[in-house]
Structure 1
């Protein structure tokens, strides 16, 4: 029993040494392949190299190679760029390139948008659409040919002539229909949407409604003219009122200017009178001084 336990212990120890040696050799091999491998990467990379960019991506990100000149750099993206489709594997998510004639695709064999010059049909890009289909140059897809569809004819209209239904014997009646579905480029064109034919009715005299309408219309026209004349008269009155107001403003302005000049002249005259009075007082003072001197000399 002890020998059996001892043998199991040595077997377990040898197995653990084997796993450790395998892990060490894998690390040394990765170090030889990518000497500049770093674990502190940015931009979604799990591992990266200074020369090759991303080597592996974080979970749920797609790995794609971008060409820069003669060099290819690994990049990790949340979704594949235009012209690529994403494929998820247990160990890595990769972006694979679409076909040459495909601009965007869902898988390698299913396109969702074609390049210029190709038309999309059932996930494939074709230079020419199959029989029974036509190329839509707006959506760049092969679509079914659509023919024009029209509704049923309406009933014939009453017999008329120059818009009247009385005062004649021979006239015209018409019927119409609507376009329900417009055709595509290669579809059948639409038929006529109206028809007319001649008709004969028993002549009947038109009632006086037309004359009454004409009278009412003339009366309304006279009232409109009268209203326009009144409006022009009111407008002229307003214009005259404005002119009178402007004239009063001009007169007031002129009067204010005249009064201002008058006040100015009055002030100047007052100043002149003051100067004259001052000169008179000075002269009297000088005469008084002369008489005083003369009296002193006489004494």
Structure 2
């Protein structure tokens, strides 16, 4: 009796296992690209395991979800992984345990905390000619590049000739808002021009033209700029007096001398015009007299020729 119960239990378990396998097999059916079930970037996928293959140039990366792994397709591998390409597929492979990021399994590009990068390897201590940098997690020279003297591997106290010190670093060209000090050999803040507030507009004054008056206002320099600071703006402004032109036209006693000068110029121009017209009439009369004399001379010449022919009929 016990043997029959044991056989029945084994058959039931086998049936359950087979049913479970068929259930998972149905979930693992591959769906072609464009199916709404597949996540973005997948070429084929399953409901249970996500992406199975990716579109060209994308890397497939397996993310753990409890006891199973879900495939995702990425343009680049995440931190702690490196990409490998092959004609079949592009995979994301895990970096070595000491690497934070890596180029491949044998070449780290950044180490985990507590080790320092040197020639692609992560080491607990650096060679004698180098010192460890906790910020970069690398083995670096005792002084930064272009330093003459330094406090440590990351902080300069004096730069090599041609470089300027700023916040412990050496610069050949000072950053924006700073300018080089040849005396200190440092980058110092640029000083911009500063000006005060505008004064009130001054009194209206006549400036050259009749019926034209203008007023002026000014402001003072508060801070002159340094060599590379922003230059100073204008410190004075002028404008035409508002509402003064109309009143100027009603002022009967104003600008009498100007009106007299204008009248004199008009009279002078008128007199010159009359004289020019007179000279033109005289030139016209002279031309008419010349034409008349030429005509009379031609008539006299013709008369003399006719008289000569009448006296001598054979003459030509």
Question: Considering the TM-score relative to the shorter chain, is it more than 0.5?
Answer: no
Structure richer in strand, relative to its length: 2
Structure richer in helix, relative to its length: 1
| TM-score normalised by the chain length of structure 1 | 0.39
